[in-house]
C-alpha cells in the first residue's frame, strides 16, 4: 500500500515545452549533459543540488522536448535554458513554447509544434 503524502509536502511540478534549434543534431543524452553543465555554471553545485531538472522527453528529428522542474526552481531552469547558445562550435538555442502544470496541458502544444515542424521541413525542401 502506498503511503499518502500531504499535498503541502509534495513538490509541485512544472513542465517546460521547448524546441531545439541548431544546425547540428543533438541526442537526448547530449542535451541532458548540456543542460546540466550549463546549470552547474549558472548556479553552482549548491543551486543544482537543491533544484530539480529532468529531461523527460526529447524527439531528435523535430527537436521538441519537455523538461520537468519544480515550482521553486522554475526561474533557474528558464535561465539555464536561455543561456545555452552554442553546441559543438555551432550556434543553437532552446525556444520555450509553453510552461504547464501537467503534461496533459502541454499535449495540444506538442501536436501543434510537430505539425509546424513538418510544414517548415516541407517548405525548406520546396525552396531547395
pLDDT(118) > 90: no
Tell me: domain 13-127, CATH 3.30.70.3250, correct? yes
CB 47 within 8 A of CB 55: no
Look at the alpha carbons of 36, 42, 47, 51 in this order and tell me if their dihedral is positive or negative.
negative
∠ CA 63-47-67, rounded to 5°: 20
Instruction: Give me the residue spans of the domains in the chain.
Output: 13-127
Global pTM reads 0.77
pLDDT in tens, 63-94: 888 999 988 889 989 999 999 988 888 899 99
Amino acid at each position: 500500500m502506498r503511503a499518502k503524502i500531504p499535498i503541502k509536502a509534495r513538490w509541485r511540478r512544472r513542465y517546460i515545452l521547448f524546441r531545439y534549434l541548431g544546425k547540428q543534431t543533438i541526442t537526448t543524452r547530449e542535451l541532458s549533459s548540456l543542460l546540466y553543465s550549463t546549470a552547474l555554471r549558472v548556479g553552482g553545485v549548491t543551486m543544482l543540488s537543491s533544484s530539480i531538472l529532468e529531461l523527460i522527453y526529447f524527439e531528435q528529428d523535430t527537436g521538441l522536448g519537455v523538461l520537468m522542474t519544480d515550482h521553486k526552481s522554475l526561474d533557474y531552469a528558464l535561465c539555464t535554458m536561455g543561456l545555452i547558445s552554442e553546441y559543438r562550435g555551432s550556434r543553437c538555442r532552446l525556444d520555450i513554447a509553453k510552461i504547464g502544470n501537467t503534461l496533459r496541458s502541454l499535449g495540444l502544444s506538442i501536436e501543434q509544434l510537430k505539425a509546424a515542424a513538418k510544414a517548415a521541413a516541407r517548405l525548406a525542401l520546396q525552396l531547395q
